[in-house]
Amino acid sequence: MLTTVKALRYLDPLRAGGSVPGIVEASDLGTYVVKFAGAAQGHKALVAEVIVGELGRRLGLRVPELVLVDFDPAVGAHEPDQEIQDLLRASAGLNLGMDYLPGARDFRPGEALGVGALEAGRVVWLDALTANVDRTRANPNLMVWHKRLWLIDNGAGLVFHHRWSTHLTAVDRAYDMSGHALGSYTPDVAAADAELAPLVTPELLREVVALVPSQWLAPAEDGFASADELREAYVAHLAARVAVSPRWLPRCFATEEQLRAAEEAARARTAAGRPSWLQQVPRLGREE
């Protein structure tokens, strides 16, 4: 099981994320970035964080340590923002903590970091397997700590579990990874597949899925008779997906020129949708 710690001090909210995680000091003297159960993304985002993150760790990728955080809203009573207070009050009980990496910074796509083709390929492969389409150039969800890449924010993965009635149609689906944050590092996804696919066994998947707290699962809502049946559905889906990996391996990544052209096209579409009296008004934060 994941280690459970008790929140002792709520330090600061991190407003950059849509779920507004917070920095928390805990009873083991550790400091964690906590993803709150009461956030709009709900428990399934926390389930995805555990499954994708812990699977990545077992495949040799760098993921900050995950813990369960027992949170009492009284710990954050000093927070002045009413919306954050509402979030904290809705998050009493178990939440997910990720080890805070002091001095870490956001990864900048394209920077000279010594990321090799195989390392990039491993990250892309994991994201393709787990349907995590949210590690893009615009939103890398990668940190640099001691000059190495660390994977964070995996809660957008496992998109199939938002509609279990149609999950079988996603077993061999090839998700669009052309704009992946590591696309410019020539990811060797084929080599990563040859290395990692044999490691993702049903036994390994059961070990990872077992780490998800039962209170974060809602088997009845998802059409399952029990939490055990739901856990096995995660195992079966991911195992079936690994078995047909040649069907979904990403092979094409957008060039810098293509990405710039797509960005300009998106800006043009946005401008075209503005009222005529706004057509010539510059957008804030951008020189015209």
Instruction: Report pLDDT for 257.
Output: 75
Say yes or no: 133 and 92 in one domain: no
The answer to whether residue 187 is domain-embedded is yes
Closest CA to 189 of 197, 181, 179: 197
pLDDT tens for each residue of 224-281 = 999 999 999 999 999 999 999 999 999 888 776 777 777 777 777 777 766 665 555 5
Higher pLDDT, 140 or 282: 140
pLDDT tens for each residue of 84-137 = 999 999 999 999 999 999 999 999 988 888 999 999 999 999 999 999 999 999
The answer to whether residue 287 is domain-embedded is no
Name the pTM for this structure.
0.89
Say yes or no: 208 and 236 in one domain: yes
pLDDT tens for each residue of 198-211 = 999 999 999 999 99
Say yes or no: 213 and 160 in one domain: yes
The answer to whether residue 269 is domain-embedded is no
> Which residue bears the tokens 């397997």?
129
Instruction: Report pLDDT for 283.
Output: 52
Per the structure, how many domains does the chain have?
2
Whether residue 55 is predicted with pLDDT greater than 50 in this model: the reply is yes
Say yes or no: 209 and 121 in one domain: yes
The answer to whether residue 40 is domain-embedded is yes
**Sequential DSSP letters for the chain:** ---EEEEEEEEEE-TTSTT--EEEEETTS-EEEEEPTTSTT-HHHHHHHHHHHHHHHHTT---PPEEEEEE-GGGGTT---HHHHHHHHTT-EEEEEEE--TT-EE--TT--S---HHHHHHHHHHHHHTT----BSSS--EEEETTEEEE---TT--GGGG-GGGGGGGTT-----TTBTTGGG---HHHHHHHHGGG--HHHHHHHHTTS-GGG--HHHHT-SSHHHHHHHHHHHHHHHHHTGGGT-------HHHHHHHHHHHHHHHHHTS-GGGTTSPPTTS--
pLDDT bin (cut points 50, 70, 90) of residue 288 is: very low
Token representation of residue 31 = 């400091």
Say yes or no: 59 and 98 in one domain: yes
Q: For residues 166 and 275, give the distance between their C-alpha atoms in angstroms, rounded to a whole number.
A: 40
Sheet with 105-106: strands ordered across: 105-106, 142-145, 148-151
Instruction: Report pLDDT for 15.
Output: 80
**Domain coverage including residue 40:** 4-105
- Percent of the chain scored above 70 by pLDDT? 93
CB 31 within 8 A of CB 65: no
